[in-house]
Amino acid sequence: MSVLPLCLEPHPALRSKARRVDLFTNDLRRLARDLTDTMYAHRGIGLAAPQVGQNLQVFVANPSQQRGREVVVVNPVLGECRGHVAITEGCLSLPDIWERVRRASDVRLSGQDVFGKSVVIDAEGLLAIVLQHEFDHLQGQLFIDRLPWFRRFDFHARHLFRNVSIRRAKP
Ligand code: ZN
């Protein structure tokens, strides 16, 4: 079991578009296992490779948090999205931040498993939300990017500038 260190916002790994996986090797399967271990160690329900500094299109999701029921998707493509839902989301790369985000309520995601076999997932409920959240990570997007501009502004004011203090220049 390997729990990998997490990249936290504003880490640059979170902001680049992840590369497609071409080789379905033991290294890829080890990365998928490590992502799973890291997700459980932090009590997350999803984790994408860029969050551990790996620029690859791989993520793991498991809204149930029951070991063995995780879904690992490689090279995902988001297909048909239907309906709307707003739910409060968090992210292991943005600790202690929770914001309400609008998403599709039903999605179809296709991709591959860790052996390169095609998979299609039709999801609703929390799994649909997690799949969209993790898919965004592979595009270099975070859930805060999906907030309306005024809430993004408020978010930056509250969270990102909180450690900035203005000091008078020394005479
Ligand atoms: Zn996240």
Please identify every residue whose CB atom is under 5 Å from ligand 1, which is an ion: 91
Confidence of residue 1 (pLDDT cuts 50, 70, 90): confident
Task: Give DSSP secondary structure letters for the chain.
Answer: --PPPPP-TT-GGGGSPPBPP----HHHHHHHHHHHHHHHHTT-SEEEGGGGT--BSEEEE-TT--TT--EEEEEEEEEEEE--EEEEEEETTEEEEEEEEEE-SEEEEEEE-TTS-EEEEEEEHHHHHHHHHHHHHHTT--GGGGS-HHHHHHHIIIIISTT----PPP-
pLDDT one-digit tens code per residue, 8-32: 999 999 999 999 999 999 999 999 9
pLDDT one-digit tens code per residue, 41-71: 999 999 999 999 999 999 999 999 889 999 9
pLDDT at 134 > cutoff 90:
yes
**What is the residue-averaged pLDDT of the chain?**
93
Q: Which residues are catalytic?
A: 134
CA of 151 to the centre of ligand 1 (A): 18
CA of 140 to the centre of ligand 1 (A): 11
CA of 26 to the centre of ligand 1 (A): 25
This prediction's pTM: 0.91
